[in-house]
Structure 1
Amino acid sequence: MHSESSPTDNWSPPVARAAADVPAVFAERFNSGRPEAVAGMYEEGAVFVAPDGRVADSPEGIARANAEFLGLGLPITVRPRHVCPAGDTALLIVDWEIEGTGPDGRPLHLQGTATDVARRGADGVWRYVIDRPVG
């Protein structure tokens, strides 16, 4: 994973132009290792529901929640199971997996099924409104 950008880095984060693109775009941004790229996947007012049920409802809280996963330094793989758009809103059911050697040198395997809601913004880009990685 790429974890730092440099002044000569020309990487530009992808955007989701269709509801079905949201999981793959999230994975690409996550796998870049750039917290700001992941943060761009959330619309203003979005919430992140942690596996223990805690709700992060601010950009800072969502960044902290994602930092736990990003801090592993491992890529995420996503497999959309259902994408159900209704106008400018969509329900996404996505199986995901993070696997590799963790920061402590031990094998790590996390997986889950996310239940997410995304919305198309005025700019035509789809972003998360609700992100529940294990739900």
Structure 2
Amino acid sequence: MAVSDPAQLPSTFVEAFNAKDLSAIDRLFEPDAVRVLRPGVVVSGDGRRQATSSFLALGVPIDISVRHTYVFDDTALIIGDFVIDGTGPDGRHVHLEGTATDVARRGGDGLWRYIIDNPPGVEVGA
């Protein structure tokens, strides 16, 4: 799942997420990448992987529609709308949606990886 165009990161993420492939998802991130759980709460490393694992445990597919990708040199800002909607393993309806603002960086190998995963986007914290 090598990504040579930052605009393709979200669709590659969707493919790995919907396959429930945590290791493939993890390869789309720099090792020290951060994830915003909610405004003001950020995790990295094992915390980021655990947060992703929790989303996978919902058992519901994700869809992402990219609004914009802005690239400067080796850095990209990706803005996209996501929806997780369906029936979870417990039979309950799951519905999460938002507009993520993510940052990616092109590595020395020419491949793009997320460095900041911000699903809450510009959501205002409490």
TM-score where L is the length of structure 1: 0.85
The alignment of Structure 1 onto Structure 2 pairs a total of residues equal to 121
Residue by residue over 1:16-57, the C-alpha shift from the partner in whole angstroms, topping out at 9 and shown as x without a partner, is 110111111111111110111111111122111102532112
When you count strand as a share of all residues, which structure comes out higher?
A: 2
State whether residues 20 and 56 of structure 2, in contact with CA within 8 Å, keep that contact through their aligned partners in structure 1: yes
Q: Letter of the aligned partner of 1:18 in structure 2?
A: D
1:55 aligns with 2:16: no
Q: Letter of the aligned partner of 1:45 in structure 2?
A: D
| % same residue | 48
Residue by residue over 1:68-106, the C-alpha shift from the partner in whole angstroms, topping out at 9 and shown as x without a partner, is 110011111000011001011000111000111012202
Of 98, 104, 111 in structure 2, the residue corresponding to residue 112 of structure 1 is 98
The residue matched to 2:58 in structure 1 has which SS? coil
RMSD of Structure 2 on Structure 1 (CA):
1.1
TM-score where L is the length of structure 2: 0.91
1:96 aligns with 2:82: yes
State whether residues 16 and 25 of structure 2, in contact with CA within 8 Å, keep that contact through their aligned partners in structure 1: yes
Q: Which residue of 1 aligns with 2:30?
A: 43
The residue matched to 2:50 in structure 1 has which SS? helix
The residue matched to 1:50 in structure 2 has which SS? strand
User: Which consecutive segments of 4 or more residues in structure 1 shift more than 4 A?
Assistant: none
Structure 1 residue ranges without an equivalent (≥5): 1-13
